[in-house]
Amino acid sequence: MELTLRKRVLSWLTDNVSPSRLEHILGVEQMCIELARYHQVNEQQAAMAGLMHDLAKFFPPSRLLQMARAEGITIDSICATHPHLLHAEVGAIVARDEFGVNDKNVLAAIANHTLGSPGMSRLSCIVFVADALEPNRGNTPELVAMRQVARENLYKSVRQICEYSLRYLINNCKVIHPRTILTRNWALAIANQDKSKVTGHTSPRSEFEGQPLTNRAEQVA
């Protein structure tokens, strides 16, 4: 990423998100770069998506709904009552319109960071995983173990994070967006398929693979 663009994004973020959110964003950017190296994904794209993933985090619900509607994004009943879930997709709109990002893979990774998406790219997986596991999330034994999995197996990591989110949502009586479940099932199938390559067993490809769906849970967004 050009240094001037990064500076411009940082200056915008300073005016539009809290200091603690900015710390989180910088942690995600760093972890995206680290995971991109481990998984041979383009580091520039990973850094850009990480830095811009939460641009719309502090937009009020009315603005999120209005921008999503104007873009023609389908607003389902859960997003209508929990507009915060739209901050990922609206963040991609801000990246495009405010910062001229036109790399579709980067924009999709921003849009997928909260709920994931069955069939999402490895770049999207990296941003999804980094958002949940960046260093500011803490250092509990569970998180430390999950970071190790993220370095070793990206799809297993996506599955773990979906399950981590689902447990949190259930334990705290919060609504679950079905895309989190679809993403979890897709990642489960892909991770098993990777395993079968090693063991020689076969498993069917995910029925969701390649479908343009998205999604994740709000506590790790």
Binds Fe ion by CB under 5 A, chosen from 29, 34, 131, 218: 131
Nearest to Fe ion of 27, 190 (CB atom): 27
For residue 74, give the DSSP letter. -
Q: Which of 134, 122, 128 is nearest to 36 (CA)?
A: 122
Q: How far is the CB of 106 from Fe ion (least distance, A)?
A: 15
Q: How far is the CB of 12 from Fe ion (least distance, A)?
A: 16
Distance, CA of 118 to CA of 177 (rounded, Å): 13
3-state secondary structure of 188: helix
Stretch that binds Fe ion, among 54-62, 78-86, 149-157, 160-168 (CB under 5 A): 54-62
Stretch that binds Fe ion, among 43-51, 128-136, 146-154, 189-197 (CB under 5 A): 128-136
Stretch that binds Fe ion, among 8-16, 48-56, 121-129, 191-199 (CB under 5 A): 48-56
Q: Which of 99, 4, 19 is nearest to 57 (CA)?
A: 19
Q: How far is the CB of 24 from Fe ion (least distance, A)?
A: 6
Nearest to Fe ion of 29, 192 (CB atom): 29
Distance, CA of 143 to CA of 190 (rounded, Å): 22
Q: Please tell me whether residue 221 binds Fe ion under the rule CB under 5 A.
A: yes
Binds Fe ion by CB under 5 A, chosen from 29, 54, 89, 218: 54
Q: How far is the CB of 27 from Fe ion (least distance, A)?
A: 9
Q: How far is the CB of 71 from Fe ion (least distance, A)?
A: 17
Distance, CA of 184 to CA of 206 (rounded, Å): 11
Distance, CA of 142 to CA of 89 (rounded, Å): 29
Q: Which two tokens stand for residue 167?
A: 């447990």
Q: How far is the CB of 53 from Fe ion (least distance, A)?
A: 6
Stretch that binds Fe ion, among 7-15, 44-52, 64-72, 127-135 (CB under 5 A): 127-135
Phi and psi angles of residue 48, each rounded to the nearest 5 degrees, phi first: -65, -45
3-state secondary structure of 130: helix
Q: Please tell me whether residue 89 binds Fe ion under the rule CB under 5 A.
A: no
- Chain residue whose CB lies nearest Fe ion: 221
Question: Secondary structure of 43-97 in the HEC alphabet?
Answer: HHHHHHHHHHCCCCCCCCHHHHHHHHHHHCCCCCHHHHHCHHHHHHHHHHHHHHH
Binding interface with Fe ion (CB under 5 A): 54, 131, 221
